[in-house]
Structure 1
Amino acid sequence: MAGSLQDQLLNAGLASKQQAKQAKQQKRKKAKQKKAGQAVDEQQQQREQLEAARKEKAARDRELNLKRQQEQAEKASHAEALQLIEAHKVQLPDESDLRYNFAHGTTIRYLFVDARQLEQLARGQLRIACHEETYTVIPAEIAERVEQRQPDIILPRPKDDTPEEDDPYADYVIPDDLMW
């Protein structure tokens, strides 16, 4: 009994040649459908992978475009701020004895100004702009417009040192020559 089950059934007379032929055809159809199904599944997986890759690339491109647009907007606002400063800067006198001291970060800087400019700086009508270690005096209205575009270019206004009305130590003045 070395033959296949089909041959054994035919020899025993339990199945006819017609039935054997039909069984072979059905077996082939099932195998073909299985392969076709796998092919369809593989194609579907490839399509899904391509679609996912395309969506990921589109999202990455949108993100890069947004970043580029933000950088361009930042450059444009910086250029506008510098243009405003350059167009509205106050001309400082060439020779002056009055020195206006101001703090920039942790260092004390100074500009030589005339009496009218010193008074306007003290009242806040003029402000100081700093770009690449160059200090420029501009009107307060222009400074506000520049601050809207680039807040780090305009130096902050000096803080008021006058004591509050309800300060209990307002009557006690600290001497200038006091050493700690």
Structure 2
Amino acid sequence: MAGSLHDQLLNMGLANKTQAKKAKESKRKQAKKKKSGQNVEDNSAAIQAQVEQQRQEKQARDRALNQQREEERLRRAALAEARQLLAQHAQPAPQEGPLDYNFVHNRIIKTLHLDRTQHTQLSRGTLAIALLEKGYGLIADDIAARIEEKDPSLVIRIRPEPEADPDDPYADYQIPDDLMW
């Protein structure tokens, strides 16, 4: 291929005549300034600073995105671990039992039919209610605490009532947990 790079670019259609003319003119001006001993404006430093700034901004965006992805991955792993603990340790609640245990879930009063030992353990806080895929189940309180750390929406823990004040005049008149209205 004969001819200058300028001619080749024009022939291939990658540049038009006005772009070529501007490039040739700016090159001629810089060469003239160099010959006369004047400082040639060095735009390369400004361009490099701008490129460096863009690179740093991109790195900051990438770091933030990676951190967000890592947090999402950890949240999903914790949720999967909580569901695995539920699957391993939860027992389905009995369908029939002599005692009813009422509790609140999503502002709705629900009822579990339990035997006396389960009812007592649930009232004292040694058992907790687990939200299973098909209804409710019972789970030990220590495992419920581990699940609650990861996803509090999967368990309903019953907090035992604090000890009564010794100076309370009605301390002798406790309302039993199994009182039926």
TM-score with structure 1 setting the length: 0.67
**What does residue 89 of structure 2 align with?**
88
**What does residue 36 of structure 2 align with?**
29
1:161, distance to aligned residue in structure 2 (A): 6.9
1:72, distance to aligned residue in structure 2 (A): 0.9
Tell me the matched-pair count: 145
Unaligned residue ranges in structure 1 (runs of 5+)? 1-24
Distance 1:148 1:77 in 2: 9
Distance 1:27 1:103 in 2: 85
1:66, distance to aligned residue in structure 2 (A): 0.5
**What does residue 63 of structure 2 align with?**
62
1:117, distance to aligned residue in structure 2 (A): 1.3
Distance 2:61 2:34 in 1: 49
1:160, distance to aligned residue in structure 2 (A): 1.2
1:167, distance to aligned residue in structure 2 (A): 3.2
CA contact (8 A) 2:101 2:111 kept: yes
**What does residue 49 of structure 2 align with?**
48
**What does residue 143 of structure 2 align with?**
142
1:169, distance to aligned residue in structure 2 (A): 5.9
**What does residue 166 of structure 1 align with?**
167
> Alignment RMSD, CA only?
3.1
TM-score with structure 2 setting the length: 0.66
**What does residue 120 of structure 1 align with?**
121
Three-state SS of the structure 1 residue aligned to 2:75 is helix
Aligned partner letter, 2:126:
Q
CA contact (8 A) 1:127 1:154 kept: yes
1:153, distance to aligned residue in structure 2 (A): 2.6
Distance 2:133 2:166 in 1: 41
Distance 2:34 2:75 in 1: 70
Larger radius of gyration: 1
Three-state SS of the structure 2 residue aligned to 1:165 is coil
**What does residue 152 of structure 2 align with?**
151
**What does residue 112 of structure 2 align with?**
111
Distance 2:152 2:50 in 1: 47
**Identity in percent:** 39
Change (3 A) 1:125 1:27: closer
Distance 1:28 1:115 in 2: 104
CA contact (8 A) 1:90 1:139 kept: no
Change (3 A) 1:127 1:92: same
